Chains A and B, each alone.
Chain A
């Protein structure tokens, strides 16, 4: 079993739909990162969170440390949101350990 599991692997939705991508992990963590990789290959950091909830525009990320689970939500989805979304965790211990473990990604396609 991978340390970081994402679901679904692939998601196709109509423009305007509410999107949820899930990330579950099996180890203690100090932080979780959500990344976006566009079809051209570039990777952009969306969120870094260690508790609670963060919001940037139409994107919302939540994390439940006790349940070892995070979700990424996209409201009013748009074709430009089509990308691969990658979850990555920074495991404990907290000091001197900057290694991220990556999920395999969720490929999102938004149809106009």
Chain B
């Protein structure tokens, strides 16, 4: 399997622009997670899906952030409008089962810079 695939790897945009990050999880994995990593706050969960259904979005910073999973092989994280404080590395990860028994598989991350 190709692993978790994220795109783009790097994105530089101007404040106010819309940003869309994409993720293809490993086939057969029922859970998909979006994490954000910053120097100040480390890794934080933004949202996770189980069987394409959003389960916990309490980590989504505000209404500017939205995430969708239209099918088992694709998810998006959208920021509109983007702000400089959104600059971070965004990781998508998937797991075959819940994290009390299952291993997490991470994508390479999308590094976002908002000017």
Contacts and interface: CB of A to CB of B under 8 A. Distances in A.
Q: Is the interface of B mostly helix, strand, loop or mixed?
A: strand
B100 A33 contact: no
B103 interface: yes
B104 A90 contact: no
A41 interface: yes
Interface stretch (A11-19, A62-70, A74-82, A98-106): A98-106
A48 B42 contact: no
Contacts of B100: 30-31, 50, 90, 94
Interface residues of A, number: 24
Interface in B52-77: 55-56, 59
A10 interface: no
A94 B101 CA distance: 11
Given A33-B104, A102-B43, A102-B44, A43 B99 contact: no
Given A31-B99, A90-B99, A43 B44 contact: no
Interface of A: 30-31, 33, 35, 41-45, 48, 50, 86, 88, 90, 94, 96-100, 102-105
